[in-house]
Amino acid sequence: MDVPLAEQDRLGVRMAPGFRLPRKRGCSTGQDGLMTRFAVRPAGLDDVDAVLDLWRSAAENESRPADTREAVFAVLERDPAALLVA
């Protein structure tokens, strides 16, 4: 579904033209075997540290330079819908 401008303003982001959010929230099976609900959304500035922690722990290529907060902030400033989190 299209994200109304008022909702984009509330989130403090601006979606790329044509960006659409999924209609339904997803589900995943947790370690306990129970279904866990999650929602995919554009990342905000408050998510950057958690994203960097995830990327560091999941890194498979140690020869490439590490990502920085400044680089992720720049991406989000240029394109607020470029990074999605759940």
Which residues on adjacent β-strands are paired with residue 85?
A: 41
Domain that holds residue 52: 5-85
pLDDT 10s digits, 22-71 = 555 555 555 655 556 678 899 999 999 999 998 888 877 777 788 899 99
- Report residue 12 as tokens: 């403090």
Specify the pLDDT at position 68.
Answer: 93
How crowded is the C-beta side of 44, counted as CA atoms within 13 Å?
8
The tally of domains found in the chain comes to 1
CB 40 within 8 A of CB 22: yes
User: 47 versus 6: which is more confidently predicted?
Assistant: 47
Asked if residues 81 and 13 have their Cβ atoms less than 8 Å apart, the reply is yes
Separation CA 62–CA 60 (nearest Å): 6
* pLDDT (0 to 100) of residue 29: 56
